[in-house]
Amino acid sequence: MTQVMMAMSGGVDSSVAAAMLVEQGHEVVGVTLKLWGGDSDSGCCSVSDVDDARWVADQLGIEHHVFNMGADFDTHVVDPYVENHAAGLTPNPCVECNRHVKFGKLHDRAKALGFDAVATGHHARLETLADGTFRLGRGADTAKDQSYVLYMLGQEQLGRLMLPLGGMTKDEVRAQAHNLTMRTADKPDSQDVCFITSVGGRQKFIGERLPLTPGIVVDTDGNQVGEVEAVELVTIGQRRGLGLAGGSDPRFVTDVNPTEARVTIGKPKDLLVESTPLGQLVWADQPVGSGADAGTAVMVQVSAHGTPAAATFHVDDQGLGHVRWAEPHRRVAPGQSVVLYDAETADLVQGGGIVVRDAEK
């Protein structure tokens, strides 16, 4: 009998995943993480979420515990989120939460407590290759696939991970929850960043934690064409909120320079690049810092539900990764995650990294 620590968020996915594991005969203990102690309206980390998770656990006849990992969440997710905005980067806090907390601290605690595996309700699959190594694959529901936000998982984590929903669509998950008369059956999915409220948004959250800097907007020739209230809140590819006069040609942010409080805009063609540099590289089956051979073919995804694009990938002598696009590609904001999938099917995660500015590592 496998002893499984089931991460229960209080949502329908983890509820059904827990029920499936119990039905399969595993010894399941439900755990809900208390991460963010401030205001939240995203359907995550609230008192009602803990109550929902506990209710489902009671219904299934399994133990339920709450682990307070708020300090780790602040250190590894919230503080870097603010610092990255101050540096003109566009962070992905959900990726960092998975990296450091949900599949970092929780994984370590489960191992220390003697559990054989950790399970979650993510829509992704686990594959074992012929050589015995593990790979993360896309979930059956392409619209809900979460492999992108789990790209950082290595062999030890994958080897101790269970993803019961990998072969199910979201509709099938909800149908199963209804069959089990779960109170979470019709609960909406959590949206956006759990610590950013819809009322104040990023501006209020970041503005309470660092001084926001007004900036100028210039075109590619250096001519000032507008102003922004806070350069820290501007991101590559942004079109609105730039204080620009109306015009027929769309213009987008092509560069953010917080040091000089300057935002550069250009035409859509000015956003296109031949390659994208990556730091903080991780690999599914190699030590961190190892890399692909020069010219390795990959399919590359630059957002959680983006369309994969063909590219080649290599790592230079300084350990910096380079995605060379098969066709000119829209620039990805520094700070965002880029995930590499196998070239043939774009299904199995090979690795990934964080976009850096050209001069950074």
Catalytic residues: 97, 194
SS3 state at 80: helix
Residue with tokens 């191992």: 111
Closest CA to 337 of 305, 315, 289: 305
Distance CA(199)–CA(196), nearest Å, equals 9
Q: How far apart are CA 4 and CA 11, in angstroms?
A: 18
Residue type at 180?
A: L
Q: How far is CA 27 from CA 23, 115, 168, in A?
A: 10, 10, 22
Q: In the sheet that 252-257 helps form, which strands lie side by side, from edge to edge?
A: 224-228, 215-218, 262-266, 252-257
**Among the listed residues 140, 164, 159, the one whose alpha carbon sits nearest the alpha carbon of residue 6:** 164
The residue written with tokens 């509820």 in the block is 15
**What is d(CA 234, CA 228) in angstroms, rounded to the nearest whole number?**
8
The amino acid at residue 340 is L
Could you tell me how far CA 350 lies from the centroid of its own chain? 16
* DSSP summary character for residue 200: T
Per DSSP bridges, beta strands 349-355 and 272-283 are antiparallel
How far apart are alpha carbons 312 and 292 in whole angstroms?
Answer: 10
**Residue 105, amino acid:** K
| Collapsed DSSP state (helix, strand, coil) of residue 31 | strand
Helix axes 170-179, 12-23, angle to 10 degrees: 70
